[in-house]
Amino acid sequence: MADQRQWVYEEKDSREAMQARDDILFGKIGMDAAISMELADQDQHDYIMNVGRRHYVGVLFIRVFLGNVMSMWLQASFLALTFDHETQEGRMKLVFSMVVSALQAMRRCHSAVAKAGTAAFVVAFLIFVFIIWTAVKVFKAFSCPDHLWNLTTGCVDLSASSQ
């Protein structure tokens, strides 16, 4: 609805707007005066654009970060913890699910950044960092001896903790 609302025009005489465009070319009036005579309501347009930006940032944070990316991160932890108890087919299904989630998150980030700008870029960067972190966790589940990896300590040795 916000995208449609930005095209609502004020009730103004179009002749005044056309005359204002000519007057600005000949230096008779300033840019601010010409903008105020345009048919579109600039204040309403700016308000709608700000609401749209907040909406896209909220969608990125709530739906993509909390919904997709954190779920994917938990799936990577699940894969590492149950690695020895799953079949190869089960592991591949889980990895495929995480790849699809990562691709969907990156697609949503791309479209939101194109529409919302810098604020969405910051959230998209956070999402990208978590996607990379998750990818490393999945890779390390296959390469670490005990299948667990921690960001700060590296491969986790479970034999040392059980003694």
Find the mean pLDDT for residues 139-159: 85
Digit-coded pLDDT (tens) for 61-78: 898 999 899 999 999 999
Residues 6+ apart with CB under 8 A from 146: 155, 156, 157, 158, 159
Tell me if 24 is assigned to some domain. Answer: yes
Tell me if 113 is assigned to some domain. Answer: yes
Instruction: Read off the tokens for 58.
Output: 């909220």
pTM beyond 0.75: the answer is: no
Instruction: Read off the tokens for 116.
Output: 């919302």
Find the mean pLDDT for residues 3-10: 53
pLDDT at residue 53 is higher than 90: no
> To the nearest 10°, the Cα dihedral for 90, 96, 97, 100?
-170
Q: What total of structural domains would you count in the chain?
A: 2
Tell me if 16 is assigned to some domain. Answer: yes
Find the mean pLDDT for residues 116-120: 84
Tell me if 42 is assigned to some domain. Answer: no
Between CA 133 and CA 39 the distance in angstroms is 50
The DSSP annotation for 70-86 comes to HHHHHHHHHHHHTGGGS
Tell me if 145 is assigned to some domain. Answer: yes
Residue 24's domain comprises 2-37
pLDDT at residue 10 is higher than 60: no
Give Cα separations from 59 to 71, 125, 156 (angstroms): 16, 14, 35
**Amino acid at site 56:** Y
pLDDT value of residue 93 = 94
* Cα diameter, the chain: 87
